[in-house]
Amino acid sequence: MSAEKKLSGLVAEIVSNREIILNKGSKDGVREGMYFNVLDPSSVGIKDPVTGEDLGGIKRIKITVVAVEVAERITLAQTFRTRSVNVGGHFGGMDAIDMLRPPKFVERVETLRLDPKGPKPLGPSESVVVKGDPFELGDESDADASRSVTVWE
């Protein structure tokens, strides 16, 4: 495994619903355009059902971000995925005017789910990102979709 693949750290600060500060920077090998997976800090341990042997675990990815500004010791990273959302008319609407209006799709950028009262259970398309969450280097495939990753220990 290359030194770059071992690049990991913690979320140092939440800047906005799209931006976070990572506690690693250029002195650690971070470059603009790198992808980072923000992880659920608790992994799920897997034991062999026959022997009881620890087989390792999986870590859940909360969200993937991209480095947009890199300083010596910190990195500003932000969400980047977009999805099409219908903000126009639709069939089955409550009033006739809405039903007749054609659909209007706009691209919306994915945002972090922020909750000042504490984390909620992770849903398939949302996450709660908090200061102190771990992160690790991702790659271009992470730009497409988050997934659980197997961690062999």
Strands (E), the chain: 8-14, 19-22, 35-39, 44-47, 54-70, 75-78, 82-86, 105-109, 134-137, 148-151
Percent of the chain past pLDDT 90, that is, above it, reads: 27
Q: Element (H or E) spanning 98, and its range? A: helix 96-100
DSSP 129: -
Please tell me which of 81-85, 106-110, 111-115, 129-133 the model is most confident about, judged by mean pLDDT: 129-133
Residues above pLDDT 70, as percent of the chain: 61
Convert the pLDDT of each residue in 10-67 to its tens digit. Answer: 999 988 888 899 999 999 999 999 999 999 887 777 888 889 998 888 788 888 899 9
Spatial contact of 14 and 20, defined as CB atoms under 8 Å apart: yes
Element (H, E) at 97: helix 96-100
DSSP 100: H
Tokens of 106: 């706009």
Half-sphere exposure of residue 89, counting CA atoms within 13 Å on the CB side? 9
One-letter amino acid for residue 147 of the chain: R
**Which residue's structure tokens are 């870590």?**
59
Computed over every residue of the chain, the mean pLDDT equals 75
